[in-house]
Structure 1
């Protein structure tokens, strides 16, 4: 697999995670600055994802982006906001990541 598409996907996933954290801070868009920041970060995430799919199949790129985003959001939510997932939720995240690994290896 090529390096640049992976860099775009990782950058896109990081932007998505940042958007999710901003969305939490927006408190249902009551704090509009955080809400509009989330929209801007999502725009950036899709811009980078669009660059990745020039070289990688959309399904593979989207699955990679989603799995990194889910894991990153869960970790950042725990660290920044004290959100706690049950062990079964972590198992579910691990299964999603395993599925993405299988998808990328096929």
Structure 2
């Protein structure tokens, strides 16, 4: 069996008439491509500049997609408790000397 195309599926299901006016879809796709190209160009320009502040901004933006504020808060609280624990251990070791 050959490659199944979207047109074939639309014809077989009878939904082809729903997509007769595809001009808005084409315009949306063209706009998407233009915006994507602008973003990629800006990214290349910023990274080629050697500006480490820009690198940090991009790392922060990408990181924020994977790490939410809840994780950051938990890390801060964990660090605070960890620092208090280390301080307590140091005080205990000084008290035993």
TM-score, with structure 1 as normaliser: 0.30
Task: Decide which structure has the larger Cα Rg and report it.
Answer: 2
Relative contact order, CA 8 A, sep 6+: which one is greater? 1
